[in-house]
Amino acid sequence: MTSSTDPGTRHADRLRQQGFDFIESGAMRDWLAATGPLDDWPRFAASWGDLAPDTYLAKLGRHRRRRHAVFSLDGIGHPAPAIRREPHQPHYQSLDYNPLQGDIERWFEPIEAAAGDSRSLHTVLRCCQQFFGALSPQVPRWHAEVHQFRIEARADAPGQPTPEGMHRDGVDHVLVLLIERQNIASGTTRIHALDGRELGHFTLTAPFDAALVDDHRVLHGVTAVEPLDPAQPAHRDVLVVTLRAAAV
């Protein structure tokens, strides 16, 4: 029987009540560590130093770095739920969900094998598989997209974590996990109801700070980031995992 103090139970209750949840770093790390190994986390986090430019956003005069991968996650009804990396494929959102870059297939550089095969990433995916699977036990398989983002900021060009503004991703569930903030101010996550009312806000400041989002019920966005010291490099690194029920 699941204990009422189980983190999955607590976060599921909050997600059902308000459509989102903010998890502080210590609690999130403990939850992940209880799910699987994190022993290669430093090497996994270091892979954000080798992301590729987002050429689609650069055409609009904005800058960020990213890599992308797609995984299939068996639903929790499977006797031995597996996690499989799928062949590289484009990221697609309709204009309904991304008015800035919707209705186009965007091909990003793939997440490198060392990061994609890492024990840390698979622990994150296993946590998503178990948690979101428990919320939707009828789903036999999930289409999971994994995004590594680095938002860079300069004194003359603040970084835009969500250049499309307040939005939905067009999926079922979203996890945003902070990897690192270096020399960054602001970057506040805002959550709005579908009618535009603000429901809450928080800032991911420490590695492992996380946000869970019910993409059917709320909009989310992040304010621009600026360097604390304009003379030094400044960036915000996040891992974003989205899940939607796969066609079967």
- Domain range summary for the chain, segments of one domain joined by +: 7-245
Smallest Cα–Cα separation from 214: which of 246, 178, 188, 176?
A: 176
User: What would the pLDDT profile of 75-129 be if each residue is shown by its tens digit?
Assistant: 999 999 999 999 999 977 656 655 555 557 778 899 999 999 999 999 999 999 9
- How confident is residue 248, by pLDDT bands cut at 50, 70 and 90? confident
Long-range contacts made by residues 132-135, C-beta under 8 angstroms, separation at least 24? Answer: 132/172, 132/173, 132/243, 133/73, 133/75, 133/76, 133/81, 134/8, 134/12, 134/76, 135/12, 135/15, 135/173
* CATH 3.40.50.1820 is held by the domain 7-245: no
What pLDDT does 160 receive?
82
The pLDDT of residue 2 is 40
User: Six-digit token pair at 129?
Assistant: 């598989």
What confidence tens digit (pLDDT) does each residue in 121-171 have?
Answer: 999 999 999 999 999 999 999 999 999 999 999 888 888 877 778 989 999
pLDDT for residue 61 = 45
Q: 190: number of CA atoms within 13 Å, CB side?
A: 17
pLDDT at 55: 75
| pLDDT for the residue 217 | 97
